[in-house]
DNA sequence: GTCGATTACGTATTACGTAACAATT
DNA sequence: AATTGTTACGTAATACGTAATCGAC
């Protein structure tokens, strides 16, 4: 025998030789499928293999875990315990590879979420340039809750809100770091024939009862509009180019912001009427967890430069 | 290639082949010992073996988990994560064999604890006869807390207290089942020359200031005596036969109960004076968890028969 | 008969050790 | 020179499949 020379001494009580993975896998499967044959076809190995594995497992545990009759094998009480643990270990295996791969993905990607689309249009180019070779992924979310939860869980490196986030837990040091980003102001885009076309400015409640063409992937705007405009009927559209085509071809009013023109929605023989409610004239803030502030210093510098020049 | 015929199809993405135990073991060890050579000598395998294992592990995870220089290998951030999980899985392995073997031991032994020695003298023979071939283990404990905790944890199948145990949590059904067992009454054993020798009965406080020879493995008796006898100086002894020899050879008073004679401590030219305090004239109760009452019916029947005839 | 578990036996896989090598200290 | 990690190569351990056997339904 080669290898460990003390084996000859240790054979009386082998130092609790670690249980092999395949045994746990097969035991867990046996607890599920109840017969060796079904385990065999499930795991794509032969019955005799399972039979021997379970014998060996039982032998290594040193206690009987099966109730055997001539052509039936069932787990006894100890076997059920063992199987429960085996399942736990199996899922721990999966958790391990999951965790490692997730961590790797997080290292390779900069993921952020935004409460509105406009910050994404501006921020993603900045980040892509800053994190060359990395994946920059941006999510649009309707609610702040999701954004904060994913920021805290580490799913997001950064989020964009309409207000800064301060520490509500610790009095001394903030949990979050917030920095102002772009501003966005909502206007209504109406044809000259529209009843509101002459107005210099509007309140949301002035739009009561209007039929308004609207994009439905616009983050918090959507809920604000639905909430603040009484009896409005929104004609939802989720394709941007068709939306602007319909808007041009019809007299239906649409929304428009100071950021909209950057992505090519230009008004044609229409009027732009500012909406003056505070809720729709927002200052966006980029927020990260306080402990990441140093790591993301380059980002916040780039954002500051962008904000100042823009 | 024999075996699973679809392997040829699946080779593009091997269905997340489960990580082998030896890899986890070696990874965990590497996180501890920091170099392959030290891992090798710790686990009693060669360095090249570790080297290849870690390469294979890294390959299977699909992400780099090491920082490699020509003659140095260290875990990177991902490797630390992997190692943390590996350690968890390793201990889960140990927990599994531990749990199974513990469960087996519990099935093979009837373990109980008692607040006093006398119930053990009576109960163990009964249980041994009832559970032939099983191990009957009896523990003497000084406090009820330990007994109850171990009864609840399953370490004890049964405990003996000086009072029944009723449900304090659930109003309807009791958590415990209690059945009366033997009674035990404390007396003082004194030589005829002793100042208390003429007394027909005693209170514990009458023993104030006495030097008393006492055994120190007598469960609750010890704390009761220490608590209720003011200024007593106890001469502790933990060997029973030498205690009775000293008692016979000296004029020192000792304790004695109605159960003492069963184990051969007989008074020789001494007087037995009953002590009348309620705390030292006790009724013992056998207590099990309510859900075990049916399972232990035979025990409680045997106890009842014994109690009635004795 | 079929189905399920076990045993026997040969084989393919693979984790191992030895040896040789490379590079850093 | 000593230490550390890697590669090459042959070997020993072992988990596997096939075939045969036994019992139960």
Q: Is residue A110 part of a domain?
A: no
- At B10 the pLDDT is 31
- Cα gap B175→A112, rounded to integer Å: 53
Same domain, A150 and A221: yes
Q: Are B172 and B164 in contact (CB under 8 A)?
A: no
- At B240 the pLDDT is 79
Among the partner residues A16, A90, A100, nearest to B97 by beta-carbon distance: A16
Among the partner residues B21, B45, B78, nearest to A18 by beta-carbon distance: B21
Q: How many domains does chain A have?
A: 2
One pLDDT digit (tens) per residue for chain B, 310 residues: 333 333 333 323 344 678 999 999 999 999 999 999 999 999 999 999 999 999 999 999 999 999 999 889 999 999 999 999 999 999 999 999 999 999 999 999 999 999 999 999 999 999 999 988 899 999 999 999 999 999 999 999 999 999 999 765 555 567 899 999 999 999 998 888 888 888 999 999 999 888 999 998 999 999 999 889 988 889 988 887 888 788 778 888 989 899 986 555 555 578 889 999 999 999 999 999 999 999 999 999 999 999 998 7
Contacting B with CB below 8 Å, chain A residues are 3-4, 6, 16, 18-22, 25, 44-45, 61-65, 77-78, 81-82, 85-86, 88-90, 92-97, 99-101, 103-104, 107
Among the partner residues B62, B77, B101, nearest to A63 by beta-carbon distance: B101
A43: which nucleotide lies closest, measuring CA to C1'? D16
Distance from CA of B9 to the nearest CA of A (A): 14
* CATH number for the domain that contains residue B13: 1.10.10.10
- Cβ distance of B103 and A62 shorter than 8 Å: no
Encoding tokens for residue A71?
């052509």
- Cβ distance of A20 and B21 shorter than 8 Å: yes
Q: Is residue B110 part of a domain?
A: no
- Cβ distance of B18 and A20 shorter than 8 Å: no
- Cβ distance of A78 and B86 shorter than 8 Å: no
Same domain, B55 and B33: yes
Please report, rounded to whole angstroms, the spatial distance between the CA atom of protein residue B50 and the C1' atom of nucleotide D18: 35
- Cβ distance of A92 and B94 shorter than 8 Å: no
B-chain residues within 8 Å CB-CB of A100? Answer: 61, 63, 65, 78, 81-82, 85
Rg, C-alpha atoms of chain B: 31
Among the partner residues A85, A93, A103, nearest to B81 by beta-carbon distance: A103
Mean pLDDT is lowest, of A43-57, A132-146, A230-244, B256-270, for: B256-270
Distance from CA of B64 to the nearest CA of A (A): 9
Residues in chain A: 310
Boundary-marking domain end, from A52, A75, A105: A105
Please report, rounded to whole angstroms, the spatial distance between the CA atom of protein residue A46 and the C1' atom of nucleotide C11: 15
Q: Is residue B153 part of a domain?
A: yes
B-chain residues within 8 Å CB-CB of A21? Answer: 18-21
In this prediction, residue A16 has a pLDDT band, given cuts at 50, 70 and 90, of low
A259-268 mean pLDDT: 62
The answer to whether B64 CB is within 7 Å of strand D is: no
Q: Please report the DSSP string for B123-183 in residue order.
A: HHHHHHHHTTTSEEEEEE-S-HHHHHHHHHHTS-SEEEESS----SS-SSS-SEEEEEEEE
- At B8 the pLDDT is 31
- At A268 the pLDDT is 60
A266-288 mean pLDDT: 88
- At B265 the pLDDT is 54
Q: Is residue A1 part of a domain?
A: no
Half-sphere exposure of residue A285, counting CA atoms within 13 Å on the CB side? 14
Number of Cβ within a 10 Å radius of residue A273: 21
- Cβ distance of B18 and A93 shorter than 8 Å: yes
Which residues span the domain enclosing A191? 115-310
pLDDT in tens, A147-202: 999 999 999 999 999 999 976 555 556 789 999 999 999 999 888 888 888 899 99
Q: Of A115, A112, A114, nearest to A220 (Cα)?
A: A115
* CATH number for the domain that contains residue A134: 3.40.190.290
- Cβ distance of B19 and A88 shorter than 8 Å: no
B39: which nucleotide lies closest, measuring CA to C1'? D4
C-alpha to C-alpha distances, B80 to A91, A128, B67, nearest whole angstrom: 19, 28, 11
Q: Please report the DSSP string for B195-227 in residue order.
A: TTTT-S-B-GGGGTT-EEEEES--THHHHHHHH
Same domain, B134 and B96: no
- At A11 the pLDDT is 29
Q: Are B184 and B212 in contact (CB under 8 A)?
A: no
Same domain, B227 and B85: no
Same domain, A238 and A275: yes
Same domain, A195 and A281: yes
- At A12 the pLDDT is 33
Q: Of A109, A89, A111, nearest to A101 (Cα)?
A: A109
Between B242 and A52, the higher pLDDT residue: A52
Same domain, B90 and B200: no
A10, pLDDT greater than 70: no
Boundary-marking domain end, from B85, B105, B125: B105
Same domain, B190 and B50: no
The answer to whether A13 CB is within 7 Å of strand D is: no
In this prediction, residue A245 has a pLDDT band, given cuts at 50, 70 and 90, of confident
Encoding tokens for residue A98?
């999951």
Please report, rounded to whole angstroms, the spatial distance between the CA atom of protein residue B71 and the C1' atom of nucleotide D5: 5
The protein residue nearest D5 (Cα–C1') is B71
Same domain, B95 and B178: no
Q: Are B188 and B260 in contact (CB under 8 A)?
A: no
Same domain, A42 and A128: no
Please report, rounded to whole angstroms, the spatial distance between the CA atom of protein residue B305 and the C1' atom of nucleotide D1: 84
Nucleotides of C under 7 A from a protein CB: 3-8, 12-13, 15-20, 22-24
Q: Is residue B1 part of a domain?
A: no
Boundary-marking domain end, from B65, B84, B105: B105
- Cα gap B36→B48, rounded to integer Å: 9
- Cβ distance of A100 and B82 shorter than 8 Å: yes
Same domain, A100 and A120: no
Please tell me what DSSP assigns to residue A75: E
Same domain, B196 and B157: yes
A-chain residues within 8 Å CB-CB of B97? Answer: 16, 19, 61
Among A7, A21, A95, the strongest candidate for a mutation testing the B interface, having the largest count of B CBs within 10 A, is A21
A99-103 mean pLDDT: 95
Distance from CA of A128 to the nearest CA of B (A): 23
The protein residue nearest C24 (Cα–C1') is B71
Between A91 and A5, the higher pLDDT residue: A91
């Amino acid at each position: 025998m080669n290898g460990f020379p003390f084996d000859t001494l240790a054979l009386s009580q082998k130092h609790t030789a670690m249980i092999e993975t395949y045994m746990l896998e097969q035991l867990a499967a046996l607890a599920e499928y109840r017969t060796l044959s079904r385990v065999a076809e499930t795991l794509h190995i032969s019955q005799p293999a399972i039979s021997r594995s379970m014998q060996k497992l039982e032998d290594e545990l040193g206690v009987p875990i099966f109730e055997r009759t001539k052509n039936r094998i069932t787990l006894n009480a100890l076997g059920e315990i063992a199987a429960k643990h085996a399942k736990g270990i199996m899922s721990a295996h999966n958790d391990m590879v999951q965790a490692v791969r997730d961590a790797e993905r997080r290292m390779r990607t900069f993921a952020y979420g935004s409460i509105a689309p406009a910050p994404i249009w501006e921020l993603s180019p900045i980040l892509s340039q800053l994190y060359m070779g990395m994946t920059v992924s941006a999510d649009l979310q309707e609610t702040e809750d999701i954004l904060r939860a994913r920021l805290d869980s580490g799913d997001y490196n950064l989020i964009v809100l309409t207000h800064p986030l301060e520490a509500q837990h610790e009095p001394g040091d903030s949990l979050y770091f917030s920095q102002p980003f772009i501003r966005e102001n909502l206007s209504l885009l109406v044809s000259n024939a529209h009843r509101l076309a002459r107005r210099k400015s509007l309140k949301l409640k002035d739009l009561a009862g209007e039929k308004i063409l609207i994009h439905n992937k616009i983050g918090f705007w959507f809920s604000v509009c639905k909430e603040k405009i009484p009896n409005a009927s929104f004609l939802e559209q989720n394709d941007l180019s068709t939306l602007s085509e319909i808007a041009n071809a019809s007299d239906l009013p649409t929304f428009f912001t100071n950021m909209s023109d950057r992505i090519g929605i230009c008004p044609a023989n229409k009027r732009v009427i500012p909406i003056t409610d505070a809720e729709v004239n927002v200052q966006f803030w980029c927020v990260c967890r306080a402990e990441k502030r140093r790591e993301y210093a380059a980002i916040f510098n780039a954002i500051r430069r962008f904000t100042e020049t823009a």
